[in-house]
Amino acid sequence: MTDPSANELVGQLTLADSMLGEVVGDMRKILAYANWPGTVLKPAVGVTTGKAAERLARELRHEAALASAALVNWIAQVAEVTEHRNRVVHAIALNQCMKCGEATMFRHPASGDDVDRSPEAVASVVMRYEALRADGLALVTELSEAVNQRIFVEAKKIANATDEIQNPPQIYPHHVEHLCPTCTGERGSTVVHLGTAVAVIPTARWQEFRDGRWPPRDKA
């Protein structure tokens, strides 16, 4: 099997960008629930990965308690790699063969700078994307846990104030693992990770609940 060409790797780079963008989008959706039970303003769809990272950084400035150093650093790296990706993808081909389409030089249209679009250079950007996505999956899980804990605390206050069970939202990243038949040597498989629902019981009612005497049948 021959090594992929630069053009083939650019296709992989575009796919890697969309996959990383899903992680950034998940972070923004989760962060939108940080002010629950206030109005949850879900982020707009159709935003590029770079723009989504910029907006995530801006939104985190209003939630300092959730902006860990690791998350802030990760967002900065996402912004950097998407800028690199844009230079590679949008570079203008020079000395391009009219038959096979291969070119020996590439130039960035806005700055006029030369762009290294060799297979090795493009492959290194793809690897950075893959590494950032792996790190992002761990970070989005941490963010989800922090936001869900904040929601739980608020729900507990409401439960104690109203003496009613609360079923607050719990927001989780969209984590799907797919393996194709070629890689497994058997059937392909898809695993979807789902979160759990939460019921928050008023503190004063816990003993009654343990004894099976609460809530009444008509309020269960």
Which residues face 103 on adjacent strands?
96
Kindly report the pTM of this predicted structure: 0.83
Question: Tens-digit pLDDT profile for the chain (220 aa)?
Answer: 445 777 788 889 999 999 999 999 999 999 999 999 998 988 888 899 999 999 999 999 999 999 999 999 999 999 999 999 998 888 777 776 666 767 666 787 777 788 888 888 899 999 999 999 999 999 999 999 999 999 999 999 999 999 999 999 999 988 766 677 777 777 877 776 677 888 898 988 877 767 766 655 444 4
- Residues whose CB falls within 8 Å of the CB of residue 68, separated by 6 or more in sequence, listed in order: 139, 142
The CA–CA distances, whole Å, from 86 to 10, 115, 178, 184, 197 equal: 11, 11, 27, 33, 40
Residue 136 tokens, joined: 């992002």
Q: What is the DSSP string of 120-165?
A: HHHHHHHHHHHHHHHHHHHHHHHHHHHHHHHHHHHHHHHHHHHTS-
Q: Per-domain residue ranges for the chain?
A: 6-162
Asked if 78 and 20 count as a contact pair (C-beta separation under 8 A), the reply is yes
